[in-house]
Structure 1
Amino acid sequence: MFADDAPFDLVGAVLGTPGVTLGLAGLVVGMGVGGWVWRARARQRRMRDARDLAQAEAWTLREVLATSADGYALWVSDADETDAFVCSRRLAVLLRLAAGEEASFDDILAGFAPEGAALLQRAVAVLRDENTGFALDLTLETTGRRICAVGVSASTSDGHAVADVVWMRDVTDERDAAETLAARVNALQRERDRLRAVLDALPAPLWIRDDSLMILDGNQAFARALDLGSVPEAVAARRELATGGTGQEMRALAARSRAAGSPGRARFHAVLEGERRLLEITETPLPAGPLAGCTVGAAQDITVIEEVESRLEREVSAHAEVLERLGSAIALFGADTRLIFHNAAFASLWGLEAEWLDGGPGYGDFLERLREDRRLPEVADFPAFKAGELGFFTKLMRPREDILHRPDGATLRRVIAPHPLGGLIASFEDVTDSLALERSYNQLTAVLHETLDHLHEGVAVFGPDGRLRLSNPVFAAQFDLPRPLGDPQVADLLHQLDPGMHPGAAWETFRRRLGARGEGRGARTGRLVMICGRHLDYAMVPLPDGGLLLSTQDISDRVRVERALRERTEALRAADMMRTTFIANVSHELRAPLARLAAREAESLGPDAPLTAELGRLVRIVDEMMTRLGAPADDPSLELDAFDVPAAVAAVLTLGREAAERQGVSVQDQCPADIGWMVADETRVKQIVYHLLSTILAQTPPGGTLTLSVGRGETDGREWIVFTVAASARRPPDGPSSTTEGKGPNTEAAPTASGDGPGLAPVRRLAELHGGTLTLAPPDAPIPEATLRLPAGA
């Protein structure tokens, strides 16, 4: 192998030979000439290839430009004036140029509106002179389509301008789409603003959590709940509505809802704006969309609902207590037909154990149990009956009332109704006694109607509307009205009665009272006189329902008797006056000599002499006789005053002892000295007691004892003085009577079977005037006795 310098050494050795040197010189010259020629031809060939390549590239570029969607107008800077402007085929089509690719710039300007053409012409001038590009929106004059013209200057890498190009494109659809898109964007922005305003206006806090359960966004209520001023501050704080374990539970609720793919709800207590509130938190996962994987949370303040639920619970408990105390049987069945409430009356009515009812049996089981115990009405098809009963849970729309007749004879009234919360509420009431009472009432009503029809009094009942509701035949007969009366108004009835009534104040009062039924609430009485001479007493009694009861009684016979009695009474009063005057005169003529004689004997014999005492006693007897016989018994007036009871009794006994001694009867005084005083008419009381002494003395046999006892007692809150006159035995019916001898003051006959003798009626009236009572033992009693009870006070 050769060393590195070996080739060069060999060439040097060859060139150092003289012949070789000349030959080589010629060879080199020939080769130089041939090389030049060869290089010249090669240069021409390269130039021709470069021209062909440039022409090919130019043709390719023109074809590429021709396929562009944009048309162009081209000014070539180094070209001749005739070739300076080029209009592309696409531009000719775009602007609908008649000359096609041969169109000039003026033809292009003619396609636009004058304002747009002038604007384009100025912009092209500035482009060609100053190489300043432009972009214009122009409008074709004929079609109105919008053209975007963009002018640019093409230059080499060294900055030499080679051409000016104006690109034109039909942007009508693009501009319309852009405007539509811009309008939609503006509408979406406005919608977003509206939604944001709505969300911020909501009082309930709302928020969005990202996939890491952190707060991503919220509304103003959420910011206020956190005591922050704005939503960005609330988001940056990354806080929950509650702190501590409650906040962690809220985040756990969001995690559970996202894992389950369904909304989750829970209730939490939190402090909002300084107050403890109950919130219902709802976390809803978003499975798709730009917020996929996030959750939307909402907090609803249900503090009011909590209060309402608490109040409802208390009211339900109160209602349950009320229902428990009701006498009616109450049961509540839930929507699942199971018993959820019953009271004690329900268990007692059906005879069921409270433990079995507390287990919540179904309504079907309840019916089966009642059927087994024979407490349900007998039915031919029990399954159909049971199905109908169970159908109430789904078909009953309003309360239903029916009657159940149990085999044991009991009758129950059942009211079953749908419960507002689902299920049924049923009440049972034993109406066995009520039905029996209703039957009795109907029978009683029939009896009352028959009774009214056969009364001697006329009866008419007017309703609250003033119509005649009820009347008996006697009412129509008393007023000479036709039968049946029907139900006329009060005014019509008065119009029928008016011709037969005697005009006057009594008839006008009757008309006013009957017409104005609301005048007072007490009973009103009066008397009517008819033209035919009939006298009617009437009584009007208001009824509880606003009606009126009118009763009438024909008292024509009584009026005639009263008139006759009144005339007789006047005659007797005149005779009594004459008797009183006569007695007064006789007593005066008798008392005056006795008084003078007593005074003379007292002066001569002294006041303690027996004769003086006897004369004084005779004077007092005369005074008592004047007192007893001087006051008329039928005078109803009383002179009430306080007097000493023992003194009055002693005065009466002074007169009674004289008559008793003549009959051989002893008199005992059992009036306590400390019995005190009483308020009454002393004269009348003495008359009553003396009459009782005379009456009992007439029934006492000789040798008997007559006792006058007086006592004080309290009955019914009042203090009474009781005078009792009793004999030790009764005189035989055929025994002698001192009254036959015509001696003494006892002129009274014995009592009749009714208890009153001829002289006891006025005495009884005097006792009743004092407000007291007079009681006589019956004639067949072994011992005759009379008891007088008078009030101790006025």
Structure 2
Amino acid sequence: MFFTPPASLLIVIFVSTLSAAAIVSLMTWWRDPNRRDRGAGEAGQSIFLFDGDCLIDASPPARRLLDRLDGIGTERARLCALLEHRFPGLGARLDAVEGDGNFRSEARGGLGRIEVEHWSGLLRLTLDSNQEAAAVIDAIAFAALQDELETLRCIGEDAPQLIWKLDESGRLSWANRAYMALAERMTRPPGGRSDSRSDGPPRESVGWSPEELFQEFDFTPAGPDAESCRVNLVLPGETRRRWYEITRLRRGTERVHFALEITEIVEAEQARRKFVQTLTKTFAQLAIGLAIFDRERKLVMFNPAFHDLTGLPIAFLSSRPQVQTVLDRLRDGNMLPEPKDYASWREQVAALEAEAARGTYCETWSLPSGQTYRVTGRPHPDGAVAFLFEDITAEISLTRHFRAQIDTGRAVLDTLPEAIAVFSAGGTRLLHNSAYDALWGETGSDLAETGLTDEIRRWQGMLAPTPVLGELRDFVAAFGERAEWSDQLRLIDGRGLTCRFTPLPGGATLTSFSPEMPDRPRIALRTTTLEEAGRESEGMIRLQRG
């Protein structure tokens, strides 16, 4: 038989158990001075609680500190970057914390400390739990600002370009070392030496505030908040003019100026401008038409000869037309060879542009008007293309006239029965007639260079041995006065050959070969002896008697 306690007894037991547990917890908390101190000071401390790199909670002072942090990255990374100055190696120690544990680190210079606790993947940072956190945070921020200010001061003072600042009244309020050095040089007499030491700032020698170096400004917009201009000055004792490009920025009521010396750039631009002017004058005097198209195939330059040869209006050429438009206008004015159809002509135009870009286009245009143009395409730097138009009508007419005369002279030579060949002073065969080919065999066109030595070698194969050919070789190569001479040769077939060698103007030599004609058939005459004549006489007498 079991005993069943009453309900009031159960309630008493439960309350007694809870009271004992609370007393034990309170005693444990009271024996932990760190937690007691932390709990008492949490209201005024900077406390950060991170889960990995993510901030999950922070005290009000810590929130105010985080609001002043800027940059990229997580809150933990930015906080470590700020505290690294006063707690060297903090980031590495935080990354090395594993498991449950804690450590404290004193700040450099004794300005506070930091307490780190890590448990169950959570990271708690407490800044200086025994001192006023605000003072420590301000000291850390002040030290960081001091470092940044020192860095910016060094950059400004050591910059090679001139930097200065004007206040709202236009008075010089600050300048860097380069500006002060130039101001000192401007106030130093020619050939004089400065009294200031080389290791000291030059502003001590010129005084503060020095006069502004650049007086005249004509700024033009160079961006949303910037203006720029170019000014020049001549230093004492120099004749070379120095150029500077000045950029001005407005910062509140003040204006910050940056001046960079661009003397060499300006001189290079002036030299290029003079060179372009020289080329322009040269192109204007050329008889060859010149048209240059840029990489977008727009006409950017042309000379008067191009206008004269094409007849295109100056207003049209000055409007920078496309190359296709220029060619269309040339075709409309019968200044292009007329194709069979317009589609093929357009393909030729595309090929013309592509070949000109590679520098391989050269073509002769025979125009309906009877004129003849030589058009050449040449590539230029930066993808530009230049076209040269040359009127070669007179040259073509003269060439045709000379060719007609040469053809006439050759036709006359072909009518002569003699085998004729003309050799230059260097021994090259210039021309020959058909009788020469009939005598010595086909030798090809006169356009192919054939030497006297090769011809003599071929003649020797058809002639009997003779010293005449050696004398001919010396005669052709001789200088000075020469006289005509002739001789006899014998072909291997037995025929005789009369040769004649005549000097011509310019050192040329004419060789003439006349084969002997074969003998004509002779009438055979019958001869008789005296006895036969006597017998014939007796027979005739008997015949008469009978």
For the superposition of Structure 1 and Structure 2, which TM-score range results when normalised by the shorter chain?
A: 0.3 to 0.5
Higher relative contact order (CA 8 A, sep 6+): 2
> TM-score, normalization: structure 2?
0.47
Q: Which has the higher helix share?
A: 1
